[in-house]
Chain A
């Protein structure tokens, strides 16, 4: 009997009820006997509920039959039955885990009142019941159990605000449940049964106006409980005011129950799927827009929560419409678990941090563990890898793509982007160190539930990856390496640097050793090049918390990106790269704000790529990158993907993130961003160009447009660089402009065009690496970034000057260094293609480039040195070492470009037949020829001859080295370098002439977009006037609208 009690009751799903109710009823008695025992019973029951759910789910996953629990010993539909299948089990387990962790978080409040303990317990049981029951009226009971327990727990704090919010909540949900009851009874009237399966199988009996209205009553009621826009103000008020413990349970638990109820009843709602989709989609998008205006932490979580439930509902309905029932577990399940753990974690975190306004979250800026948790949760919510939401969104978007539902894709991605905007703005506030704010104090164990939730998220995400037939080790290696390095983050800087370099070298080698062709080329550039530049990070030996782990993640995810053979792996690594580089930018003092723009544009870019992959999948049904070329609509796929990559490269019009991010990132990391990370976009562009761009049926247009975008980027990048005072911004704009040429080169879709693009890519890596590392040295020594505050540094930093000069000559395209070859090939390729206008602009922009290049050298190194800079030393050797390597490479390639061109050509040959014709050392094209070694020799010669002459003359002359200020200055001797160093507003006249071209229109445009979406947000939220009656009215209107929309008054 006792054994039977365990095997037949307690270990069965029924045990959940028995445990919760039994314990719930007895808790007051235990409490009277001994306070601690009540808590023990309480936590024990919750743990037991988790265990029961886990055991049964485990059995079902391993092939056990779905558990149908009949009550009263009578078969359904005549008695109520419960079901515990895969879905039920999953939801129940997830909810119970969240409830258990939530109880841990909530315990300090809960344990003060025995009734609170029992209410919590029974609330969780109610959710379990909503999930498991197969009876419509029983569902109502569980909804009510859940509701009443929620009401009481909300009201537990008894401050006026909470109670007011609670009252609104009660009014709203009571109206909703009254609707549910009405619907239920009328369904019973028509079908004569209350068993859900029975109702579904007799669905035809629900007919006519009564059937419609009854179904809509039930449907509206459930939707209302899910808090659809705009009938959700009551929910928001509770999220905002209630204790984080109960708010989290409402957000994830109660919503989960209601959502599952909707899922169960969905077969009855076939006729209304469109309405549900519209409602859910609108809720997802609009909540996220309104979220932009919100600064109250918990209310913001409320908006996010409501939005996520909208997304879940939308996904469910769309899958239902697409007959993709098999993917429900992955998509809806993934989104569900993701939302559940992340949102609950965030609510708990909000409770721990206890700052109402997100701007005050700077109090955790010095608590890395809290920050990491916050970041992890945000990343999970947005659907960044490796979290479950990533896989779910991937699958969802792929499915939508294959059903040509691009409107929904747009909505899902736009909504996610908006959500990212406000969540990461919040993260920015939390990152911002503000010394005036008192630091947050909490015990070590307090964030433990959040940490467990985060760990579960990662584990589940990892598990989901395992089910997908992917190269999981490669995908997760960056994370693993990052985690490993994070563990040793407390060690001295030198150790960390060494460990990072070793990890990246070993990991990068392992990831890229088998690559061939273009991927192999890029692996040299990204991994070996990245490693080279990371050597320079040794020049700093401060703590730099998080820098080295993140850098390892970044570089290894770049390697994994190159290795990706499927679009999914590619996207995974892409997102990982985005996230890690974002975080790296935030590590800089002033990098937090620009990092946000960087992240948002990067995510926008990622979403374009995402949509492009979806469109490709729609056409080929394959996620192999190699199958990208077989799509039936290459123009669309190419345009979407190219748009994504161009945004990532800071294309014209979408570049506004670039200068700020580059300027404010750590100096050595800027070199990485510009020289290495930006190449990822080029890699993507080359890949899609190879797969899609060269197809004859793509039509010239997308490529031609891309060519124009590239050259406009080059032109405006150069023009804007001319007017910068900040050295890093100058080079950042220059970087943008140089990437523009590469885009144009790729867009040419010809062998020569691609060779020039790849050549320019290598070249860009070399000279931008040198430039930014030089700048790092300069900034290190002068502590300045404004060029007019420098000057004359050639005296102190001669080596840096020479390196910079060589880099600049290599960039400018002046023969004999590498830049010329790139320009020459690009120009030839443009002429061969007949893109004359683009060629003319390329000419112009490279002329403009001289302006800023000269300005950089002149105002920093030449002119008058500031008095306080008299004693500056040369840049540290470790910064110069990578530069020497790169200079050597520039020289070698300049003298003998075949060295580089042959492998480049070989990598391109599989796609386009070789058109490079070599005549000895000379490269010949249709138009002209280029004999680099000869040019090098001649230039060397004509340079050496006058030099020798002058040296000889000097021997006969008395050369007097003069002091500073010894210049012809209208017979006066200036004394202050500030007066004589012509540097500020260097090109004022140029500004007067064509400055109107570079007024920040793009910035103004994006500011207007921000402004506009905020305005939209504030006009969308006018419905939330705080009045409970208005909220109730909206619920009524909601129902009325549903009826009218579905023709309920038609007959």
Chain B
């Protein structure tokens, strides 16, 4: 228990994120069903987002909103880094966009050939 308690919170998030990346990769590499591969991608993507968020954490920091709770004078020492948060926001939207396109491609593939198995889509090769 103390191990977890002593571990910095951001490291836990970081590790979880990296683990999620690995799990997602596993899914993308081993699941033959395209929808499952897309799920794998989403996991990887989410993992990356978690890593990003964790990087922005500053020990003991709070949300980077400068109002009554965090006066301007103390801002620099009390808030977490706003940049990774901003980045992750963007990254999430982009991930969403990619996922949406991926799904539509998968749908079209299913329409066209009645299968979602990636290893049945190998006619162009060499």
Do chains A and B make direct contact within the complex (CB under 8 angstroms)?
A: yes
CB distance from A1016 to the nearest CB of B (A): 14
Give per-residue flags for B83-126: 1 if the beta carbon is below 8 A from chain A beta carbons, else 0: 11001001100100110011011101100110000110111111
Question: How far is it, in angstroms, between the C-alpha of A833 and the C-alpha of B30 when the chains are bound?
Answer: 74
- Residue B48 at the A interface, CB < 8 A? yes
Tell me whether A412 is interfacial, beta carbon within 8 Å: no
Contact B29 A1029 (CB under 8 A): yes
Residue pair A181, B52 in contact (C-beta under 8 Å): yes
- Set of chain B residues within 8 Å of A147, measured between Cβ atoms: 98
Q: Are B121 and A167 in contact (CB under 8 A)?
A: yes
Are the CB atoms of B122 and A1025 closer together than 8 Å?
yes
- CB–CB A163/B108 < 8 A: yes
State the CA gap A165–B90 with chains docked (Å): 28
Contact A164 B121 (CB under 8 A): yes
Contact B51 A182 (CB under 8 A): yes
Check A1025/B125 contact, CB under 8 A, given A151-B105, A167-B109, A189-B55.
Answer: yes
CB distance from A316 to the nearest CB of B (A): 28
Report if A240 contacts B (CB, 8 A).
yes
> A170-B105, A174-B41, A1027-B119 known; A241 and B124 CB under 8 Å?
yes
Give residues of chain A (542-599) contacting chain B, Cβ–Cβ below 8 Å.
none
Whether A1032 and B105, one on each chain, are in contact in the complex, defined by CB atoms closer than 8 angstroms, is no
Give the contact stretch, choosing among A93-101, A154-162, A267-275, A853-861.
Answer: A154-162
A:213-259 near B, CB below 8 Å: 233, 236-237, 240-241
Determine if A148 and B52 form an interchain contact, defined as CB atoms under 8 angstroms apart: no
Contacting B108 at CB < 8 Å: which of A155, A236, A299? A155
In the complex, the answer to whether B25 meets A1036 with C-beta atoms within 8 Å is yes
Within 8 Å by CB of B125, from A186, A1024, A1036, lies A1024
Of residues 1014 to 1043 in A, which have CB atoms within 8 Å of B's CB atoms?
1018, 1021, 1024-1029, 1032-1033, 1036
B37 to chain A, nearest CB (A): 6
Give, as a whole number of angstroms, the nearest-CB distance from A297 to chain B: 13
Tell which of B84, B94, B123 touches A1026, judged by Cβ atoms closer than 8 Å.
B123
B37-77 at interface with A (beta carbon < 8 Å): 37, 41, 44-45, 48, 51-52, 55
The smallest C-beta distance from B30 to any residue of chain A, in angstroms, reads 7
Is B98 in contact with A1026, judged by CB distance below 8 angstroms?
A: no
Interface centre among A167, A175, A185, A299 (most CB of B within 10 A): A185
The CA of A158 and the CA of B104, in the complex, are separated in Å by 11
Q: Smallest Cβ distance from A303 to chain B, in angstroms?
A: 10
Q: A171 to chain B: which residues have CB within 8 Å?
A: 28, 37, 41
Q: With a CB–CB cut-off of 8 A, which chain A residues contact B55?
A: 185-186, 188-189
Taking a contact as CB atoms closer than 8 A, the residue among B83, B90, B113, B122 that contacts A188 in the complex is B83
> Is B80 in the interface zone, CB < 8 Å from A?
no
> Nearest chain A CB to B83's CB is how many angstroms away?
7
| Chain B CB within 8 A of A363 CB | no
* Complex CA distance for A182 and B84, rounded to whole angstroms: 12
Is A194 interfacial (CB-CB < 8 Å)?
yes
Q: Are B125 and A160 in contact (CB under 8 A)?
A: no
| Residue numbers in A under 8 Å from B105 (CB-CB) | 151, 155, 163, 166-167, 170
Q: List B contacts of A164 (CB < 8 A).
A: 109, 113, 121-124
Give Cα distance in the complex from A579 to B55, angstroms. Answer: 59
B contact residues around A1026 at 8 Å (CB):
121-126
Q: A167-B34, A293-B126, A1028-B118 are in contact. Are A194 and B52 (CB under 8 A)?
A: no
- Chain B residue with Cβ nearest A152: B101
Question: Counting CB contacts under 8 A, is A144 at the interface?
Answer: yes
Q: Which residues on the A side are within 8 Å of B90 (C-beta)?
A: 137, 141
Q: What's the A-B contact tally at a CB cutoff of 8 Å?
A: 131
Q: Is there contact, CB below 8 Å, between B126 and A194?
A: no
- Given that A160-B109, A189-B55 are contacting pairs, would A178 and B45 also be in contact in the complex, using a CB cutoff of 8 Å? yes
Chain B residues with CB under 8 A of A1028: 37, 118, 121
Closest residue of chain A to B102, judged by CB? A170
B55 CB, nearest partner CB in chain A, Å: 5
Q: Roughly how many angstroms separate A155 CA and B103 CA in the complex, as a whole number?
A: 12
CA distance A294 to B126 in the complex (A): 8
Residues in chain A near residue B119, CB distance under 8 A: 1027, 1029
Q: Which residues of B contact A241 (CB under 8 A)?
A: 124
Are B124 and A240 in touch, CB under 8 angstroms? yes
Number of interface residues of A (CB under 8 A): 50
Question: Judging by beta carbons under 8 Å apart, are A151 and B101 in contact?
Answer: yes
Chain A neighbourhood of B28, CB < 8 A: 171, 175, 1029, 1032
| Chain B neighbourhood of A167, CB < 8 A | 34, 102, 105-106, 109, 118, 121
- Contact partners of A168 in chain B: CB under 8 A: 118, 121
Q: Known contacts A144-B94, A171-B41, A181-B52; is A299 also within 8 Å of B101 by CB?
A: no
Interface residue count on the B side (C-beta < 8 Å): 40
- The reply to whether B106 and A1032 form a contact with Cβ atoms under 8 Å apart is no
Residues of B within 8 A of A233 (CB): 125
Q: For the complex, what is the distance from the CA of A174 to the CA of B29, rounded to whole Å?
A: 13
Q: Which residues of B contact A174 (CB under 8 A)?
A: 41, 44-45, 98, 102
Neighbouring A residues of B112 by C-beta, 8 Å: 158-160, 163
| 0 or 1 for each of A287-328: is its CB under 8 Å from B? (1 = yes) | 000000110000100000000000000000000000000000
Instruction: Name the distance in Å between B57's Cβ and chain A's nearest Cβ.
Output: 11
Note all chain B residues with C-beta closer than 8 A to A185.
Answer: 48, 51-52, 55, 84, 87
Interface residues of A in 123-173 (CB under 8 A from B): 137, 140-141, 144, 147-148, 151-152, 155, 158-161, 163-168, 170-171
Q: Tell me the complex Cα distance, A141–B94, Å.
A: 8
CB-CB under 8 A from B125, the residues of chain A are 233, 237, 1024-1026
Chain A residues in 8 Å Cβ range of B121: 160, 164, 167-168, 1026, 1028
CA distance A680 to B122 in the complex (A): 51
Query: What residues on B are CB-neighbors of A182 within 8 Å?
Result: 21, 48, 51
Q: Give the CA-CA distance A112 to B109 in the complex, in Å.
A: 21
The residue of chain B having its C-beta at the shortest distance from the C-beta of A189 within the complex is: B55
- Give the complex CA separation of A92 and B63 in angstroms: 40
Docked complex Cα distance between A152 and B103 (Å):
11
- The answer to whether A299 and B98 touch across the interface, beta carbons within 8 angstroms, is no
A165 neighbours in B (Cβ, 8 Å) = 124
* Chain B residue nearest in CB terms to A186: B55
Interchain CB contact (< 8 A) of A1029 among B32, B83, B87, B98:
B32
**A189 contacts which chain B residues (CB < 8 A)?**
55
Smallest CB–CB gap between B75 and chain A, Å?
15
Residues of B close to A236: CB separation below 8 A = 124
Complex contact B83–A194 (CB within 8 A): yes
A178-199 residues with Cβ-Cβ distance < 8 A to B are 178, 181-182, 185-186, 188-189, 194
> Quick one: given A164-B123, A167-B102, A185-B52, are A1027 and B83 in contact (CB under 8 Å)?
no
| CA of A163 to CA of B94, assembled, Å | 21
A178-B124 contact, Cβ under 8 Å, with A167-B34, A171-B37, A185-B84: no
Most buried by B among A140, A147, A189, A1033: A189
Partner of B126, one of A181, A1024, A1032, A1036: A1024
Bound Cα distance from A151 to B98, whole angstroms: 9
* C-alpha spacing A165/B122, complex, angstroms: 8
Please give, as numbers and ranges, the residues of chain A lying within 8 Å of B122 by CB-CB distance. 164, 1025-1027
Residue in B37, B105, B109 with the greatest tally of chain A CB atoms within 10 Å:
B105
Asked if residues B87 and A137 are in contact (CB atoms below 8 Å), the reply is yes
The answer for the CA separation of A166 and B21 in the assembled complex, in Å, is 23
Of all chain B residues, the one with the shortest Cβ separation from A170 is: B102
Contacts A185-B48, A1021-B126 known; 8 new A-B pairs at CB < 8 A? A155-B101, A164-B123, A168-B121, A178-B44, A182-B51, A1018-B126, A1028-B37, A1033-B29
Q: Interface on A for B, CB 8 Å cutoff?
A: 137, 140-141, 144, 147-148, 151-152, 155, 158-161, 163-168, 170-171, 174-175, 178, 181-182, 185-186, 188-189, 194, 233, 236-237, 240-241, 293-294, 299, 1018, 1021, 1024-1029, 1032-1033, 1036
12 contacts between A and B (CB under 8 A): A148-B97, A163-B105, A168-B121, A170-B102, A174-B102, A181-B91, A185-B52, A186-B55, A188-B84, A293-B126, A1029-B29, A1029-B30
6 A-B pairs with least C-beta separation: A1026-B122, A1026-B125, A164-B121, A160-B112, A160-B113, A237-B124
